Structure 1
């Protein structure tokens, strides 16, 4: 039996779970008070602060650190890599700390995992990090050589959902053509061709459908005019694209449950919510062309997938392409645990970061 500690760090939360093989024994979601968080200038300074909460969880739940086989974290922003299970090393941590490839509290998670494993038998791992890049050459072309399309979306969620579909249907992920749709605070749609995410949208920085608080792709000419109007700073525009875009910009609200309720009597709420779904469906259609129309299934996951009405609207527009299968929720902790377990069992290799396949332009 393998004993696995799972870490998933967010801006103001630390999710922790303890697994034995594939069974979750105990889990928690610690919300960190603003007055505690604000003492730090940057989340990468919260190492000991977060680690103390993790150790407290283990102590309260009789999880013996010396008996762990793995500490796996959602990670991390480094050079682009193929999807898979990676062992955390010092070079990985150095790249994450540099900020050259982006930064998120998940970068701190892999640092904590590495530190906690230094004096015990457990190994530190990350699974399908957000910089996972399996794009085909055509998918990288933007229309101008100074700008390249890059893979940056919900890789962990996408891969885990696709593999779950394959597993539950007695199929092999690397023999399927799938379109995976993640509907959460961010939205991402990607075609998976024979086990690889061969294209996708960077909703974090302005691509694809708009979401609860992100603009997705904007008309380029109008965006350029806005940027050079002199009315907005760089920081303000960035915040418009990610944070104050999408449904938040239109309605001043980003909670989909609230918006769905309001839409029953508010035409604007109904219009803008339908607009998000409409754009998601357009992206699904475009992904189908990437796969030459040969799509085995469309998989919908994320928190918004709990909405039966939104899912039905996607089915109404897209089921002519392929069956729509729904896996609601984030499922990140389970995905990390399952990835680590698969690596320990030898179902897939535990890759060495220094010897991994690096994606180049």
Structure 2
């Protein structure tokens, strides 16, 4: 039996879970009030603050650190890498700390896992980090060489969902063609061809379907006009795209359940909800062409996949492509633990991060 500690650092929370093989024994989600986090000037200044939360979880649940086989964290931002399980090393931490490839609290998570493993037998791991890049060459061209398309989406969720579907059917992920749609605060759709995510949309920067608080793709000309009209700063436009876009911009809320209730009596809310679903379906259809119509299944995951209305509408439009299978919820902790377990069991290679600057 393998003993695994999974940690997932978000902007306002620290999630910790203890697994024995693939069974979650204990888990906790600690919220961090803004009045506490604002005292820190940067992500890495929160090291002791976040470490205290994790150490408290270990102590209160009487977990023996000496018996841990792995500490796995949600991966951070480095140069692009292939998907998989990686052992955290100094080079990885150096690139994450540089901020050159983006920065998020998950970068601190990798450092915490590394430091915790120094004095024990456990190995520090990350799984399918957000910089996972398996794009085929033609997917990288956007229309202008100064703005290449990059692989930036929910890689951990995508890979874990696809592998779960394959595992449940007794087949190999590498033998399937799948379309995975992560439906959460950000919405991303990607085609998985024989074990590789060969395309996908960057919901963070403005691509694909709009979501609860992100714009997705926008009319480029109108976006340029807004940028140069003089009414908005660079940061304000960025916030429009991520944080204050999508449903938030149209309806003033990012709560899908609330929007569903509003839609029963409010025509604007009904149109907005259906438009989001419509755009999701368009992306699924687009990715089906990438796979030349050879799609084994369409997989829906993320918090919005709990909505019977949303799922039902997607099935209406997309079931002709392939069967639609639902794995509702974020499932990040389970995905981390499962990836680490597959690596410890030798079913996946634990890769060495060796991309020098």
Q: TM-score, normalised by structure 2?
A: 0.99
Deviation string, structure 1 residues 322-348 (Cα, Å, up to 9, x no partner)? 000000000000000000000000001
C-alpha distance in 2, partners of 1:99/1:64? 34
Q: Does 1:215 align with 2:215?
A: yes
- In the alignment, structure 2 segments of 5+ residues that lack a partner are none
Whether 1:175 and 2:175 are equivalent positions in the alignment is yes
Aligned residue for 1:203, secondary structure, equals coil
C-alpha displacement of 1:355: 6.4
**Who is 2:93 aligned against?**
93
Deviations 1:202-255 (A, max 9, x none): 000000000000000000111111111111110000000000000000001001
Q: What's 1:193 paired with? A: 193
Q: Distance in 1 between matches of 2:246 and 2:233?
A: 19
SS at match of 2:213: coil
Is structure 2 residue 231 aligned with structure 1 residue 231? Answer: yes
How many angstroms apart in 1 are the aligned matches of 2:121 and 2:355? Answer: 22
| Match of residue 274 from structure 2 | 274
CA distance in 2, matches of 1:32, 1:233: 29
2:32 match: 32
Q: Distance in 1 between matches of 2:227 and 2:132?
A: 30
Distance 1:355 1:243 in 2: 32
Partners of 2:158 and 2:178 lie apart in 1 by 10
State the match for 2:149 in structure 1. Answer: 149
Deviations 1:4-46 (A, max 9, x none): 0000010110000000111110001001122221211122210
- Equivalent position SS for 1:272: helix
Task: Write the distance in 2 (CA, Å) between the matches of 1:167 and 1:294.
Answer: 20
- SS for the counterpart of 1:254 is coil
Contact 2:79 2:355 in 1 (8 A): no
Local SS of the residue matching 1:156:
helix
Task: Detail structure 1 runs of 4+ shifted over 6 Å in the superposition.
Answer: none
- Describe the superposition over 1:80-101 as per-residue Cα deviations: whole angstroms up to 9, x where unpaired: 0000000001111111111111
Work out whether residues 204 and 242 of structure 2, in 8 Å CA contact, stay in contact via their aligned partners in 1.
yes
Aligned mates of 2:150, 2:79 — CA distance in 1: 12
Q: Does 1:253 align with 2:284?
A: no
CA distance in 2 between partners of 1:170 and 1:69 (Å): 27
How many residue pairs match? The answer is: 357
Q: Secondary structure of 2:138's partner? A: helix
For residue 73 of structure 1, what is the aligned residue in structure 2? 73
Secondary structure at the residue paired with 1:19?
strand
Task: Encode CA deviations 1:118-166: one digit per residue, 9 max, x unaligned.
Answer: 1111110000000000000010011111111000000000000000000
State the partner residue of 2:326. Answer: 326
- CA-to-partner distance for each residue in 1:291-321, whole Å, 9 max, x for gaps? 0000000000000000001000000000000
The answer (yes or no) to whether the contact 2:68–2:122 under 8 Å persists in 1 is: yes
Matched, 1:309 2:309: yes
1:299 and 2:299 matched: yes
Q: Which residue of 2 aligns with 1:115?
A: 115
1:11-22 alignment runs, 5 A limit: 11-22=11-22
Superposition CA RMSD, Å: 1.0
Distance 2:266 2:302 in 1: 25
1:102 aligns to what? 102
Q: SS state of the match for residue 142, structure 1?
A: coil
- Equivalent-residue separation in structure 1 for 2:146 and 2:262 (angstroms): 43
Measured in 2, the distance between the counterparts of 1:209 and 1:292 equals 21
How far, CA to CA, are the matches of 2:37 and 2:142 in structure 1? 39
